[in-house]
Amino acid sequence: QSALTQPASVSGSPGQSITISCTGTSSDVGGYDYVSWHQQHPGKAPKLVIYDVNNRPSGVSDRFSGSKSGNTASLTISGLQAEDEADYYCISYTSSTLGGVVFGGGTKLTVL
Partner 1 sequence: QVQLVESGGGVVQPGRSLRLSCAASGFTFRSYGMHWVRQAPGKGLEWVAIISHDGTNKYYADSMKGRFTISRDNSRNTVYLQMNSLRAEDTALYYCAKPGYCSSTICSSWFDTWGQGTLVIVSS
Size of the site for partner 1 (CB under 8 A): 29
Q: Is 101 in the site for partner 1 (CB under 8 A)?
A: yes
The residues near 87 (Cβ < 8 Å, ≥ 6 apart) are: 39, 40, 41, 106, 107, 108, 109
Cα separation, 71 vs 83, in Å, equals 29
Positions 50 through 69 that interact with partner 1 (CB under 8 A): 51-52, 57
Q: Is 47 in the site for partner 1 (CB under 8 A)?
A: yes
Cα separation, 32 vs 73, in Å, equals 11
- Binding residues for partner 1 (CB under 8 A): 1, 3, 34, 36, 38, 40, 45-48, 51-52, 57, 87, 89, 91-94, 97-106
